[in-house]
């Protein structure tokens, strides 16, 4: 029943660190226990349907490089051929999850009704495949950016009909996600932003976006969808400025619209970097703010100024990410999605496998290193000790509101407080990290 797309590849096996088989895992071993939990249950890998099966290899200076038998997938039959290959790859990799946009999986219809029918048909097809394979849906989402109707935004479009079309489309995508048992539903507002302030009313667009998200949350509860609603921050690209700029910006938006307990974030490494942050910054901030949800584990090239969506490969960097996640208790509904695309010169089916194997293996190494960091506890204890002074009664009074600014000034003056700096020990701590990676 194989499509033959991947030749005779069936299931990628774990062969251990010494293997030189490019089609084997060297580190990812689904059943291996890490901190008392199976590696698979920690990492919760997902393959992104769009990059691996719908993207054609184009860039702003050149068109399609990939040749796939299902391109252009503008008929239901080609869409199903694509699905067959996709699920074949999920199984070959042993990926427990996948993610998709409506536009990745169904032919584009002439109008909303046709889009909906197409989506429903493919959802039925996916449901059968999920059942047959055991692969599950990490999250569904609506593509509200590719069609030209969204060129000026979806929820934030100056034209209310676009808002309506987008809202209707999201409804169908939440329905699809719910039906497929999705663990989360994601909103990425790639065109929710602006190209120029000269034609933009920031306040109106914020109101529209806040309403849109409230509609989504209300609908989720109405239909009993238990998954998490996630916003994926990104600072720019495609637009010059996107409203979901970074974690801090999304937090402010949620708080403004009363949604900080309803919505969490899906953080992408590459987007963190485009926003001027490290990945671990965005992760730790989201946890501190109580809105951490899921991750897109795909990196940006540090020398490129656009979203390169590359498979991850730097274990020390990834270790800091999983360290942040493990410290915060790990994923609940979220997981590790590879929102990563092949380089456009990686033409062959096996390149898809190499890329995912490499990504999964490096995540596994990073997870194990991070677990050792947590279990060892040297760094955590160092941090606790650094702030230990705040446990004194005098210090607590400053934080709990019993001391006013004048009280504190009196204290400083009377006790002649003259604090002496202590080493921040950054290099020492960086050396400790290198014990584990």
Measured from the CB of residue 206, what is the shortest distance to a copy of itself in angstroms? 6
Q: Which residues contact 434 (CB under 8 A, 6 or more apart)?
A: 316
Question: Does position 268 bind Co ion by CB under 5 A?
Answer: yes
Q: Out of 8, 31, 131, 416, point to the residue binding a copy of itself (CB under 8 A).
A: 416
Please identify, using beta-carbon distances, which residue of 133 and 434 lies nearer to a copy of itself: 434
Question: Does position 96 bind Co ion by CB under 5 A?
Answer: no
Binding to a copy of itself in span 54-83, by CB under 8 A = 57-65
**Size of the residue set binding Co ion (CB under 5 A):** 6
DSSP letters along 89-130, please? HHHHHT-SEEEEEHHHHS---SSHHHHHHHHHHHHHHHHHHH
Q: Which residues contact 72 (CB under 8 A, 6 or more apart)?
A: 78
Measured from the CB of residue 87, what is the shortest distance to a copy of itself in angstroms? 21
Q: Binding string, 255-284, against a copy of itself, x = CB under 8 A? A: xx----------------xxxxxx-xx--x
Question: Does position 282 bind Co ion by CB under 5 A?
Answer: no
Positive or negative: CA dihedral 144, 145, 150, 153: positive
**Size of the residue set binding a copy of itself (CB under 8 A):** 159
Residues carrying an active site annotation: 101, 104
What's the full length of the chain, in residues?
Answer: 437
Q: Binding string, 200-219, against a copy of itself, x = CB under 8 A? A: xxxxx-xxx--x--xxx-xx
Binding to a copy of itself in span 80-119, by CB under 8 A = 111-113, 116
Question: Does position 20 bind a copy of itself by CB under 8 A?
Answer: yes
Measured from the CB of residue 11, what is the shortest distance to a copy of itself in angstroms? 18
Burial of 179 (0-12, 13-18, 19+ CB in 10 A): middle
Binding to a copy of itself in span 335-374, by CB under 8 A = 342-348, 350-351, 354-355, 357-358, 361-362
Please identify, using beta-carbon distances, which residue of 227 and 270 lies nearer to Co ion: 270
Give the burial string for 233-258 (b: 16+ CB within 10 Å, else e): bbbbebbeebbbbbbbbbbebbeebe
- Cα angle: 422, vertex 424, 427; to 5 degrees: 140
CA distance 75 to 106: 8
Stretch that binds a copy of itself, among 40-48, 68-76, 131-139, 424-432 (CB under 8 A): 424-432
Given phi > 0 = left and psi -120 to 50 = alpha, else beta, which region is 73? left
Question: Does position 339 bind Co ion by CB under 5 A?
Answer: yes
């Amino acid at each position: 029943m194989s499509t033959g797309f991947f030749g005779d590849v069936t299931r990628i096996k774990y062969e251990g660190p010494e293997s030189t088989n490019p089609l084997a895992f060297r580190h990812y071993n689904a059943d291996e226990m890490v901190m008392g939990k199976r590696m698979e249950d920690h990492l919760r890998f997902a393959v992104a349907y769009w990059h691996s099966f719908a993207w054609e290899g184009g860039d702003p200076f050149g068109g399609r490089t990939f040749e796939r038998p299902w391109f252009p997938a503008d008929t239901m039959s080609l869409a199903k051929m694509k699905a067959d290959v996709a699920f074949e790859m999920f199984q070959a990799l042993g990926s427990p999850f996948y993610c998709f946009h409506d536009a990745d999986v169904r032919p584009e219809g002439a109008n909303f009704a046709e889009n909906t029918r197409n989506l429903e048909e493919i959802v039925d097809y996916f449901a059968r495949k999920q059942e047959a394979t055991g692969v599950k849906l990490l999250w569904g989402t609506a593509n509200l950016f590719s069609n030209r109707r969204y060129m000026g935004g979806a929820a934030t479009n100056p034209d209310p009909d676009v808002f309506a079309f987008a809202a209707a489309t999201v409804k169908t995508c939440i329905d699809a996600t719910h039906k497929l048992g999705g663990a989360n539903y994601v909103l990425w507002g790639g065109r929710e932003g602006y190209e120029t302030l000269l034609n933009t009313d920031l306040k109106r667009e914020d109101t529209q976006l806040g309403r849109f998200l409230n509609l989504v949350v209300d609908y989720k509860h109405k239909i009993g969808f238990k998954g998490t609603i996630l916003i994926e921050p990104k600072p720019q690209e495609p637009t010059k400025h996107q409203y979901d700029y970074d974690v801090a910006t999304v937090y402010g938006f949620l708080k403004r619209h009363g949604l900080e307990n309803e919505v969490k974030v899906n953080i992408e490494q590459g987007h963190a970097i485009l926003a001027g942050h490290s990945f671990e910054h965005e992760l730790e901030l989201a946890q501190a703010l109580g809105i951490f949800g899921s991750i897109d584990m795909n990196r940006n090239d540090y020398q490129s100024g656009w979203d390169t969506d590359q498979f991850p490969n730097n274990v020390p960097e990834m270790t800091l990410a999983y360290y942040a996640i493990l410290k915060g208790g790990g994923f609940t509904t979220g997981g590790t999605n590879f929102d990563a695309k092949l380089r456009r010169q990686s033409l062959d089916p096996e390149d898809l496998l190499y890329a995912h194997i490499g990504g999964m293996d490096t995540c596994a190494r990073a997870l194990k290193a991070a677990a050792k960091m947590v279990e060892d506890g040297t760094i955590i204890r160092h941090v606790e000790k650094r702030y230990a002074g705040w446990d004194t009664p005098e210090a607590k009074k400053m934080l709990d509101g019993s001391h006013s600014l004048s009280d504190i000034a009196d204290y400083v003056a009377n006790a002649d407080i003259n604090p002496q700096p202590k080493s921040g020990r950054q290099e020492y701590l960086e050396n400790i990290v290198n014990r584990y990676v």
